[in-house]
Structure 1
């Protein structure tokens, strides 16, 4: 991040601009939304700038900028649309201590102005660090469609109640109150008319002041295979409300970024056949934080109900009469099979699919390998890299075809996804050579769709 976004206090502050043409007009239309004292230097200003000056919306000096003109200014815009003049005025403003922006000159600017969605006092700023202004405008247009025009009025009324809401305890109690106002009570009152907002807000505050504190709760959330766009809306909401997030090793940073900044983040990562946090300690953390009244998200990779030791954690929470619920997620098998253009089941091929885990070797050894070795069977093997030779040996021992396709997908759904297409006979060797270091899922009985098509196509020379 080369440009750190902030919101600058503008009330009573000086903002100076040099220029009187189209570039100046574009900046001034935005700056006039602020409460700053605007000073413009332009020898030949556009008539619109003169009208704004006549309306006392800005101060216009009909001359070129001189040394000292930007003294005590917070910001300066060089908008003369002439490289030499822009460089001159920018140097003068920098000497006066102002932060300088040169229109359409990212390299020599100390700050940039983002695209802005204005629902005053709600302001959304969108920046691409100058790399893609067209993209920023497209995002702005999308947000403007999504954010109702009434949002500003809703927020202005809410702002007047900030001091009264301080009567609620810090933290979750206040967040629950404002969440109810902005997403439930406020919009309903707004639909009845703006005059209904203040009475509704007073009633809501009374309700929150007199009700019992919300008890601690645990949400067991499936974080999906790693792509944040594959999170469910319910998972996003749980992360937004969480006071504590207890997460697995395979949860990606992009998903962790979706949690509230104030949330306590606890890494309890387990690594197959390597260092790990004990299940007993994880259970104790869930109970400890939920009993303190926190809203806890137990964030598991994939789907929480698949090879996630979910039952042990639910039992620990339920034993202490703590409320809980499950938010399902996309399991790695679904994401990985989509990545190779296949389906887990197919008519006339297999009407069932087995989900196995290579982490539990005892349960692995007891599996019905003879049934899986039959033609056209499909299995999704989680955490199976280290057990590849074991899988191969068991299947061959029970008569599996050595040429049965096997596909290993590393980092399914993520930008660094890799696909290894091999066969049962070559699986251990090819896996070793691939040197996969990320989480991987092994499909027995499935090849990537392109490979399937290539194997079934008749060579042209055979048609001659």
Structure 2
């Protein structure tokens, strides 16, 4: 992040702009929404600027800017639409200590003005580091359509009520009060006018002051394969409400970003044959925070009901009389099969699919290899990279065809996703050559749609 977003208090502060044309007008229309003291230097200003000056909305100086003209200015905009003049005026402003923005010159600007959605006092700023103004405008248009016009009045009323709300304890009690106001009570009440919204706030505060403390609770949330867009709405809501998030190693940074800034994030990652947080410690952490009254999200990659040791954590909650619920997620097999353009089951190919783990607590996991080795069987093997040679040996020992297709998908659904198409015979060698470092799911008996077209020729060649 090159440009750090902040909201600068301009009330009563000086902002200077040099220029009188279209570029100056565009900036002034935005700056006039602030409480800054605006000064414009322009020898030939546009009629709109003259009109604003006549209304005392800004001070107009009908000449080019000179040394000292930006003393005590917080911000300066160079909008002369002439590169040489912009360079001259911005140099003067820098010498006077003002932060400088040169219109349409990102490289030489000290700050940029984002696209803004204005629901005063609610302001949404959208920046793209100057790389994609068209994209920023598209996001702005989308937000403008989604945010109701009543949002501004609701926020103004809420702002005036903040001192009253301090009667509630800090933390979750206040958050729940304001969530109730902004998303339930407030929008309904303001339909009758601002007085109605104020009365509703008084009544709402009394209800929340009388309410009992919400007990601690645990949500076992499936985070999906890594793409934040594959999170369910229920998972997003749980993350937004969580006081504590206890998460696995494979949870992507983009998904953790969706948790509240105030939430406590606890990494309890496990790595096969590597450093791991003991399951007993994880169980204890979940129970400890819930018993303190926290809303806990136990965040697991994929779906928490698939190879996630969910039962052990639920049993710990039950033993401690901690309430819980499960939020399903998209499991890796579903994301990976989508990545290769196939389905997990298909008529006249396979009527069932097995979800297997490559290893368990005792090491490489054993399965019904004789059944798996039969023609037409399909299996999704989780955590199967390290056990690839073991799996290959067991299947071939039980008569599996060496040309059976095998597909390995690394980082399914993520930007760095990779797909390895191979056969049972070549699986360990090709895996070693590919040097996959991320989480991977192995499909036995299933080729990608592209690889399927070339498979008959390959099988004939190997035969």
The normalised TM-score by structure 1 is 0.97
Partner of 2:395: 395
C-alpha change, 1:111 and 1:366, in structure 2 (3 Å) is closer
Matched, 1:189 2:189: yes
Deviations 1:126-156 (A, max 9, x none): 1111111111111111111111111111111
Partner of 2:62: 62
Q: Is the 8 A contact 2:219 2:238 kept in 1?
A: yes
C-alpha change, 1:64 and 1:366, in structure 2 (3 Å) is closer
Partner of 1:146: 146
CA distance in 2, matches of 1:281, 1:195: 52
Shift of 1:453: 2.2
Matched, 1:438 2:454: no
CA distance in 1, matches of 2:227, 2:405: 27
Matched residue SS, 1:204: helix
CA distance in 2, matches of 1:254, 1:10: 33
CA distance in 2, matches of 1:359, 1:28: 64
Q: Is the 8 A contact 1:248 1:300 kept in 2?
A: yes
Shift of 1:402: 1.0
CA distance in 1, matches of 2:179, 2:439: 37
Q: How many residues align?
A: 458
The normalised TM-score by structure 2 is 0.97
Matched residue SS, 2:297: strand
Q: Is the 8 A contact 2:357 2:365 kept in 1?
A: no
Matched residue SS, 2:395: helix
Matched residue SS, 1:77: strand
Moved over 6 A (4+): none
Pairing 1:67-82 to 2, within 5 Å after superposition: 67-82=67-82
Partner of 2:201: 201
Matched, 1:130 2:130: yes
Q: Is the 8 A contact 2:404 2:424 kept in 1?
A: yes
Partner of 2:210: 210
CA distance in 2, matches of 1:128, 1:437: 31
Shift of 1:190: 2.4
Shift of 1:457: 8.9
CA distance in 1, matches of 2:188, 2:452: 55
Pairing 1:230-309 to 2, within 5 Å after superposition: 230-309=230-309
CA distance in 2, matches of 1:456, 1:167: 74
C-alpha change, 1:349 and 1:49, in structure 2 (3 Å) is same
Partner of 2:83: 83
Partner of 2:461: none
Q: Is the 8 A contact 2:411 2:438 kept in 1?
A: yes
CA distance in 2, matches of 1:365, 1:310: 19
Gaps of 5+ in 1: 459-464
Partner of 1:376: 376
Deviations 1:254-284 (A, max 9, x none): 1111111111111000001111000000000
Pairing 1:314-325 to 2, within 5 Å after superposition: 314-325=314-325
Partner of 2:385: 385
Q: Is the 8 A contact 1:356 1:364 kept in 2?
A: no
Deviates more, 1:103-112 or 1:357-366: 357-366
